[in-house]
Structure 1
């Protein structure tokens, strides 16, 4: 991907293909060439210009890039590094591939780092930028050393090009005996090369930066001796100062609120620019920042005219969509979209002001929202690699036990939504070594408790006990073991799969024998000193609903005894509201959830929010809403986990979700939940599933797989395009075929 926009050169393989096709068709028409000649010219040009890309050891570039991004965090000018182990790339990597050429060709080679090249085991002298490869079967090896940035190569020939089919390793594990004979066998583990869409030789991976676009201020006012600049909404980027003159110091105090920007003693972030010599030019602040407001003060004889912003963003398009008759819900959806886009940088991060780190719990929710909005696989994969890091495993992901389990779940979800089995198989070894670490930390009863170095997070909630073996952690552990069983089977590890399946079943049995209380009609919160407590919280209970761990009687009991019970401590973070409302949707309570969305997310909008917050407590007033972590402005007013309506509206109102990898099979269970009508798109690997639903009509079309449309209707639905099969209890099923438009008349219950 190029760093700057260029309307003439596409940035992806698909775009390049379309560009070449369009160009050649135009040339063929202009020159009246025969169709066959045009086709041959197109194929030849595509082979030589669009297939190659920069490649590296899988995960290495992602880890390196995450280190670059996460270590940009500052608090009041002080560098603020992450809390966990930081890994790095392998400095020496071998790249190789075998080819069978029908004719000789010249191959150009470019690398990030020092490199050597071998053809069929024979080294070329020096560092060749091009080699001649004769016709026939050959093997090319390129070994690259780079301590500073990940070793990467870009190979381009007529048919020999660098792509993800190349094999890579960070260690040869070969030897030579006293006669000079090389070993016949090697224990080397090879992986498929990693790549993104750096499809141009000049677009080196290590030089990648997010693009920027200029934005003007909405208002500028003089406050005391400074300028308060308002960009109108939460945003992110580089403040640009225009017409700077003189020598001295410029201070920039950033605020997600007006109060924060003007509070120079307590604002979370600021920059100071020192001008050593007179200037009359534009000056850009040294680092990107989150802000809506910036308060600018000057010292000595510095003057400036005005300020603007270079908005920094990840160039991802919206594929999913949602609209309905309720304009407040439409506004909530739009602000949720903007919140997710702001929190999507090179990776899915938590929030743009404070941490700007990759947290597994936050990222897991971003993945799910992404599948219903942008459906960008590459950001999911990069984030997954960055979170996992490398062996040996010395602690939980982000040091948080629950965040380790979200990581496992995220890998399988990616496979379900994308159908990309290769990524799962390639990362099975990393999954297994992480689960081995978890397994060894069980107590004598096979349960997990917090050990030194473990952070039991669950949620931000005052007074929430983390003592003993918490039921929520055992529940996530069981789900992670189930995930490992599925992934092991897909990776061809049948013995592992059987062991994980057995372990998951045993843990689930323990979970209910220890924590289920007939008296409370719920799972209790924890076991301390070998005895279950009587404390009931929402966490394990709501997850057990959409994990389908409860039987129907337990589901209904928990709905009333926990989820709809105001005596059980309420949740005040969008993070866990996400799961609470998902559980209620899974129980068919879309009418109730719609009201909750309007009250909770609508409540933030009524307070002037332009993106959704890290935490929202309706009982607070004024500037109290900005405080967190014991700091006046510690709360993030743009936090990825605040965007959960994207997922809820896509999965539980439009009702579309995959039941087989890549939407080869899927379900559609539309639920208006009190709306009069709704329409939307849900992205899949093959395009968008489109649906319109009112209380009398459903229209839909899908470009992928086979779907099951489930409709609850007073009468049998009428559909000329398919048969409505009665499933009982006023539920009807219609099979949805690919690329076929359906119009269904029915009577909503």
Structure 2
């Protein structure tokens, strides 16, 4: 009984029960500060042997569901043998992008000593085949994805912490036979329900919605990252479309305030978050959106001291001609980074948007003085409207801020060339501006062409960047590039994401998920905490659309059906605490 009591106390001690009986390393003070993981681990077998070379036998064994336990049966092992024919290798496909690592379970070979192998993770098949070299820019930045390790005789090794779909294993030692019982992906993720949903008569749109949701889900790790391979960091601007997706799919989750607070606490003013002025402005806009969806006034109040000082800093960056004069890195997104006039237009609009949001927050927090300063600054900013210089990024922000009529921004810039010059990050704001202009048809076409273009190349998550010009004669990411085809991963990319450094699971690219929920399902939150939701669907060429939306009080369900007359029949249900406006 004493043993049972000790084990019980060890298990529950972190919950505050009987902590005095914990082992010395877990005395009460340390137990209180100990951290638990927000994520879980699941083990997945590969779905396909995509390629192999050298002397390999029974590779199909690795496709079977395993149990993670080495044993003495020695039956049906996969054998990799280095001999006169060279050193063997295998390329495994796990079927979809994952975050985590690899579990290697070995057999019993002749000598009880470790064997050296090389493991390469890849978000594309070609990345898993690449060496770390400058030609196609395969790297170990942020996460080690190419490593040489020793595996134990009759044992198990777990390695890796990155984003991947493909794994290549090479036997390094000569004149050696490696016996493998299992090679399983260790899938690390937050085990949370998908409360929001979307289904329509267009299967491509359904897949795009789900892919955006899954992309953000993978990036909800210790903090809200923008990429699970690179960058595994809290970039506040990148968070804005991610948080919009979280609001539409998962509802409230602690990863959002945790990440917002990290950005605030490591950025004393007058510094800009991540060194970028717009990213401090996105911090304001996220807080407004987060409060609108979740209604946590106490949390919003915690931001007030920092917000008031940030407002003063922003207002000080307006010159006597009512033009922004922001310092720090002047940045919207990478594809627009060489268009300085477009950036200026976007920064002017961002100033108006963020100060308008800060004014709204200040009124909620009963701070009329700050609200008045914000209103006066926004009025000044609206007196000067820069030319977006054909930048779809700049034009979209001008439209959303009210500095330029949305119809004009769409007609003159956004609708020109369809999804040409779209971007994964600012594509969300381009779509929002098109919706504001009433061009839902054009926005849906752009979603299908741009985000659907990634899916057509084998994507299971959305990428850091995508350019329609890359598509011509490009191979898929889920196959070895055929001769005469372009490697969409290794041969493309720009700026900091050239070649294989390019992240193929980037949360900022999830914009269509929340956009489809807001504009096709027509679900728009109009009172803090989702106490009132307006339903205004835009089906365009769809015959039906249905889905769910998370609120603090429960799920709102909607279904829209287009009748033969063209009229839309709508069915809505939700918690009694949520007022539905139709």
TM-score scaled to structure 1, two decimals?
A: 0.62
Give how far 1:334 is off.
2.2
Q: Structure 1 residues 599 and 569 mapped into 2: Cα distance closer, same or farther (>3 Å)?
A: closer
Alignment of 1:458 onto 2:332: yes
Extract unaligned runs of 5+ from structure 2: 1-11, 55-87, 476-485, 564-568
Q: Deviations over 1:287-309 (max 9, x none)?
A: 31111111112323572414111
Of 296, 300, 304, 2:169 maps to 296
Residue 556 (structure 1) aligned to one of 407, 419, 437: 407
Kept after mapping to 1: 8 A contact 2:345/2:398: no
Q: How many positions carry a matched residue from both structures?
A: 496
| 1:569/1:378 CA distance change after superposition, 3 Å | closer
SS in structure 2 at match of 1:574: coil
How far did residue 705 of structure 1 move?
Answer: 2.8
User: 1:609 maps to which residue?
Assistant: 459
Q: What SS class does the counterpart of residue 509 from structure 2 fall into? A: helix
Find out whether 1:546 has 2:400 as its counterpart: yes
More strand by share: 1
Find the residue that maps to 2:298 and give its secondary structure. Answer: helix
Secondary structure (helix, strand or coil) at the match of 2:426 reads helix
CA contact (8 A) 1:321 1:681 kept: yes
After TM superposition, list the pairs within 5 Å mapping 1:172-211 onto structure 2. Answer: 205-208=34-37, 210-211=39-40
In structure 2, what is the Cα distance between the partners aligned to 1:408 and 1:640?
19
CA shift, 1:418, in A, is 0.8
For 1:679-699, what per-residue CA distance to the aligned partner results, in whole angstroms no more than 9, with x for missing partners? 111111111111111123211
Alignment partner of 2:128 out of 261, 281, 287: 261
> Do structure 1's residue 675 and structure 2's residue 542 form an aligned pair?
yes
Q: 2:260 is matched with which residue? A: 384
1:227-376 map, 5 Å: 227-243=90-106, 246-266=113-133, 267-269=138-140, 270-275=145-150, 279-285=153-159, 287-300=160-173, 301=176, 303-305=178-180, 306-376=182-252
Q: CA separation of 1:411/1:283 partners in 2, compared to 1, >3 Å: closer, same or farther?
A: same
Deviation at 1:371, TM superposition (A): 0.9
1:679-694 equivalences under 5 Å are 679-694=546-561
RCO comparison, higher one (Cα < 8 Å, 6+): 2
Computed over aligned residues only, the root mean square deviation of the Cα atoms, in angstroms, reads 3.0
TM score, norm. by length of structure 2: 0.78
Q: Structure 1: which 5+ runs fail to align? A: 1-48, 55-106, 115-127, 130-143, 147-151, 154-203, 516-523, 526-534, 710-749
For 1:405-444, what aligned pairs fall within 5 Å after superposition? Answer: 405-443=281-319
Is 2:578 the counterpart of 1:705? yes
Deviations 1:634-655 (CA, angstroms, capped at 9, x unpaired): 2111111222221111100111
Deviations 1:543-568 (A, max 9, x none): 23334444xxx3333321122223x9
Highest CA radius of gyration, 1 or 2?
Answer: 1
Shift in CA distance, 318/614, structure 1 to aligned 2, threshold 3 Å:
same
- 1:591 maps to 2:444: no
Secondary structure in 1 aligned to 2:503? Answer: coil
Tell me the residue number matched to 2:8.
Answer: none
Question: Counterpart of 1:432 in 2: which secondary structure?
Answer: helix
Aligned equivalents of 1:324, 1:672: Cα separation in 2? 9
Q: Say yes or no: does 1:650 pair with 2:553.
A: no
Q: C-alpha separation between the residues in 1 aligned to 2:401 and 2:315?
A: 21
Change (3 A) 1:615 1:278: closer
Check 1:593–1:465 CA distance in 2 against 1; reply closer, same or farther (3 A cut): closer
Higher share of residues assigned helix? 2
| Corresponding residue for residue 222 of structure 1 | 52
- Cα distance 1:466–1:108, how it changes in 2: closer, same or farther (>3 A)? farther
Distance 1:607 1:271, change over 3 A: closer
Q: Is the 8 A contact 1:411 1:424 kept in 2?
A: yes
What do residues 236-273 of structure 1 show as CA deviations (whole Å, max 9, x unaligned)?
11201110663353221111111111112343343435
